[in-house]
Structure 1
Amino acid sequence: MFFTYLRRELRRRRKAALVVASGLALGIALVIVVSSVSSGMEKAQGKVLQSLYGLGTDMTVTKAAQAGADGGERPRFQFDAQGNDSDEEQSSDRVMVQGFQTLSAATVSKVGAQSGVSDAVGGLSLQVLKVSGQFRQGEFQQDQNGGDQQGGGPGAAPSGGPQGRVEGGGADFDVNSYSVYGTDVTKPGLGPLTSSKITSGRTFKTSETAAEVVVADSSYAKQKKLELGDTVTIKGVKFEVIGIATPDSGDAAANLYIPLKQAQTLSDSKDKVTTIYVKASDSQAIGAVKSAIQKNVDGTTVTTSADLADTVSGSLSTASDLASNVGKWLSIAVLVAAFLVAGLLTSSAVSRRVREFGTLKALGWKSGRVTRQVVGEALVNGLVGGALGIALGLGGAYLVTAISPTLRADIGATGGGPGGPGGGGPGPMGDAARQAATKALDVALTAPVSLATIAMAVGLAVTGGLIAGAFGGWRASRLRPADALRRVE
């Protein structure tokens, strides 16, 4: 009897039911779209932070470079004189620590021993300046006037000999600058290389702690035409290219990756690191871990993902603020309005059915049965509105993903890993660090819809139906059979 009456009444007042369901659908659809876009914003920010730190890293520990620590000294290159007939190319590398003061390897163990730290690994960020080229010997050109000319300019022969000058001599040298990162190959699951995917070849083996092997960033490999099996010479040491890495998003942490021990040897930084990558045992305790490290490891700067997120500006930050603030409150306002409208429309419908409910009561229906009938109708309206709202919300989220607008993320300087926020002293090393510190990343926005969002939408639909039913049920429970008799025409 309940369901038969319910089906008949909904069919008879389908226009009013559709109005109530549509209002709820709009509110639920807006909640789904805003929730999915917010999730997409978080995912985009996660990509930005992962491009700086690497997968699995919760924070980094560094030590800021002291101003003028290098005394403003410029890199110096020395070349030996070659024989008169030699045109052999000469080259010289200057390998410098980039961005930060070095920390002892013992600091890595100390950080790893702190409460709440799951794992810690050190890395060494380097900048290489390579000067290569050759000297060209000049040729003596004799004057056509013979030996009568006196004096002469630079390169002229002594008086009494053939007169002329040296022409065509000089030097042709090229300066190349690139970044190298020494990574701890014994812990491949932590560090900046995890922000890239090996698209060709392989990554390091845990046994290659002192091997002369290198993984090249895909952009750098394309620029230098490097392929698997090629060699790269750094400060006279030839490294074999074993893999090509492509960053998941943004820029790579370095142009080349080599084992940490090799990087320490090349830069004369034995048992030194510039960055310690830390993974917390509990993601909810990152703040406590940060405080413990700052308290127990003097002179270091601890930067968490949350710290980096605060430095993200640009359209990504603006859109994220809009989605989390304006969008959230707008969806709440629309949802509340939809609930109120559904309740008022249901109550109004009950007022127009006074004669019907009064007659049912006169026939023996209890107030509770009438109330349940009204609540049941409102609940069905809410479920229909929920189904429509989920369909509209999924359509809106799919549209955002299909359009996939590009958002720009500008990363400010707070201190961090290579290629990410950081400082630097004067000279080319500091310039490279400052350039990386203010880099901008373009991230495509998506709007993923999770099962939790769908469950929330169903909950909202049921809640909306119950709220509307509560309005109407309260009104119906107050009706008396005598009201039906007064309205008989």
Structure 2
Amino acid sequence: MFFTYLRRELRRRRKAALVVASGLALGIALVIVVTSVSAGMSAAQDKVLQSLYGLGTDMTVTKAQKPPQEGGNGTRPRFRFDARGEGEGGDGEQSSDMVVPQGFETLDAATVTRVAGQEGVAKAVGGLSLQVVKVNGQFKRGELRRGQGGQGSQGGGRGSGGAGDGVQGGGADFDVNSYSVYGTDVAQPAMGPLTTSKISSGRGFQTGETDAAVAVLDSAYAQKNKLAVGAEITVKKTVFKVVGIATADSGDAAANVYVPLKQAQALAGTPDKITTVYVQAADSQAIGSVKQAIQKNVPDTTVTTSADLADTVSGSLSTASSLASTVGAWLSYTVLAAAFLVAGLLTSSAVSRRVREFGTLKALGWTSSRVTRQVVGEALVNGLIGGALGIGIGLAAAYAITAASPSLTAHLGGGGGGGRGAGGGGRMFGQGARHAAAKAVDVALTAPVSLSTIGLAVALAVAGGLVAGGFGGWRASRLRPADALRRVE
């Protein structure tokens, strides 16, 4: 009897049922779209952070920055060239490489072992980030030109020049080239910045190449300098053979050139030194406690997690994420609440128009609870219909967003690794280190719809039906048979 009456009433009141279901569908679809877009933005942000961190990395440990008054040690980066006299190639080409750790801040290599020994740490790997500045060019001697009244002693003696004497020509012409080199632990290839790139040509490092003079180049750097697998590059008089070309999965690569860690330490003249420790936690839910343990037990370090780096993300990705999490979420829930309220009011209004019907049913023996169950059942079916429509609309909108894949830009600020130059001369290279850590990454926005989102939509549909049925059922339970008799013509 319940389902027969329910089917008849829904068929007879199709327009009213469609209005209630459409209102609920709009609110539910908006919730699905906002939820899926937020999930897509979280995935995009994770992809952006991986391009800076490295796959499998939960946090990084770097040297704690010192206040300016404590950081200066009087060391200034400088270039030195050989002094060559006449006949010794004084006009020849001069070249000098300066290799310094990014930010001039380093940690002892033993820090990796200390970090790995902390509770909750699954794996720790060290790396050395270097900035190389190559100055290449030549000095050219000037020529002494004498005026008409000039006199000079023979045999190279000191002369007395006239008013028109002077040195003409000569000078210096030097080219400055700056690029980044990263020393990676070849025995631990599963962690570190190189894991965000895929080998597109040649091969990666082998575990036995700890002391080998081999290098992997970023594809953009290799293309710019017309280098390929098998070529050779020279860094501070050390010749490295290029064994592979790597292409970054997203955004810029972590470095232009990758070499084994020991080779990088030798280039910088910093044996047993690193700039960064990459840490993988045993439990992704315990990253906060692992960070606290490292900060407590490994002094003079700065621990940076993905959550810390997320705060430095700006650009259109950050703006869109903020809009989705604030304006979008509030808008969707406001529309949903309004849809619930409208559905309840429409159901209550429909009950008021069915006073004679319900009063007659009560006169025939229907109890108030049975009338209430009938009204709630009708409203619940309307809610489920609205939920089905809302899920369909929401899935279609999410698919359209994923198909369009709008591009968002994320600007990453430097993490814990950005350094401060030591002394006046080092200031330029401190800024270079921060610039290397800060980069822009373009990511495509998707709107994945998970099963939990579908479950949320179904729950909202049921809740909407119950809210509407609650309004109508309360109104129906208060009707009396006498009300129906008064309305009989």
TM-score range, shorter chain: 0.7 to 0.9
After superposing the two structures, state which structure 1 stretch, 64-73 or 312-321, moved more. 64-73
Which residue in the other structure is 2:103 paired with?
99
Aligned equivalent of 2:116: 112
1:231 is displaced (CA, Å) by 1.4
In structure 2, C-alpha distance between the alignment counterparts of 1:350 and 1:283, rounded to whole Å:
53
8 Å Cα contact 2:419-2:430 kept in structure 1: no
1:71 aligns with 2:74: yes
Q: Which moved more, 1:436-445 or 1:256-265?
A: 436-445
For 2:77 and 2:479, how far apart are their aligned partners in 1?
93
Task: Report the counterpart of residue 4 of structure 2 in structure 1.
Answer: 4
What is the match of residue 297 of structure 1? 298
Within 5 A, what are the aligned runs for 1:149-298?
Answer: 151=151, 172-298=173-299
Structure 1: 5+ residue stretches without partners: none
Alpha carbons 1:202, 1:242 under 8 Å: kept = yes
- The 1:303/1:203 distance shift into structure 2, 3 A limit, reads same
SS at structure 1 position matched to 2:60: strand
Task: Map 1:332-481 onto structure 2 (within 5 A).
Answer: 332-416=333-417, 421-425=418-422, 426-481=426-481
Q: Tell me if structure 1 keeps the 8 A contact 2:81–2:95.
A: no
Give the structure-1-normalised TM-score.
0.88
1:413 to partner: Cα distance: 4.2
Q: Structure 1 stretch 66-75 or stretch 174-183: which is displaced more?
A: 66-75
| SS of alignment partner, residue 60 of structure 1 | strand
Identical residues among aligned pairs (%): 70
Report the AA paired with residue 275 of structure 1: T
Matching residue within 127, 130, 135 for 1:126: 130
Paired amino acid for 1:289: V
Aligned-partner Cα distance in 1 for 2:85–2:16: 97
Assess, with a 3 A threshold, how the Cα gap between structure 1 residues 323 and 27 changes in structure 2: closer, same or farther. Answer: same
Partner SS state of residue 92, structure 1:
strand
Letter in 2 for 1:183: T
Query: Residue by residue, what CA displacement relative to the aligned partner does 1:265-312 show, whole Å, maximum 9, x if unpaired?
Result: 111111111111111112222111111111111111111111122222
Q: Is the 1:64–1:100 Cα contact (8 Å) retained in structure 2? A: no
Q: CA deviation at 1:157?
A: 10
- Structure 2 residue identity aligned to 1:410: H
Gap change, CA 1:11 and 1:298, over 3 Å in 2: same
In 1, Cα distance between the equivalents of 2:303 and 2:226? 38
Q: Distance in 2 between matches of 1:317 and 1:424?
A: 30
TM-score, normalised by the number of residues in structure 2: 0.88
- Letter of the 1:200 counterpart: S
Specify every segment of 5 or more residues in structure 2 that has no aligned partner in the other structure, as ranges: 160-164
Deviates more, 1:393-402 or 1:263-272: 393-402
Compared CA separation, residues 170 and 468, structure 1 to 2 (3 A): same
1:34-53 superposed matches below 5 A: 34-53=34-53
What secondary structure is seen at the aligned counterpart in 2 of 1:99?
A: helix
The SS at the match of 1:50 is: helix
- The answer to whether the 8 A contact 2:214-2:242 is kept is yes
Task: Describe the superposition over 1:322-356 as per-residue Cα deviations: whole angstroms up to 9, x where unpaired.
Answer: 22122222222211111111112112112211222
Q: CA deviation at 1:63?
A: 0.9
